[in-house]
Structure 1
């Protein structure tokens, strides 16, 4: 039986089609998550915080009970390590609330 020739991709990536996640000049530019503070120490603190605060605070405010998966900084720390590690600046959120409500607040200039 004859072998089939492999077809090349018909989808071409155009130059500049990649979405930039971090704005040039951002405090995060060129830094890994570990360099920004989200290394092993953060993962341990995050797990402990979620164990002690397992529900999404936004959902609770609306009468819903939803497990939280994200520890969010209430006021954006923007590289300030004192604010980063201040647990009074942390809140537990589910992913849908973090990705919608919280991001909309930040875009509107609320929460730091």
Structure 2
């Protein structure tokens, strides 16, 4: 009976270690994503402010349309690039959070 209790304790400790490793990976990944989003928001705000300044200082309607068109184009490209980057970061986060469980699942599968 004592051997079984020791085995259960060891299994519980091992499982808790796996959970903590996974949680640590998730915490790092989420922090990186939050930092990336904050940087993108700051950059986007600065670019938007610059575009508004250029738009309001345009001397002609053609120049205003040109400024606005260029801003929309760059904002769209930046947005798509950022979404791609965030998608990759979320995928990396999922892979890193799963890594500690790979060995445990392979033991069960045997």
Q: TM-score, normalised by structure 1?
A: 0.22
Q: Which has more helix, going by share of residues?
A: 2
TM-score of the two chains, using structure 2 as the length reference = 0.22
Larger RCO of the pair (alpha carbons < 8 Å, separation 6+): 2
Name whichever structure is richer in strand by fraction: 1
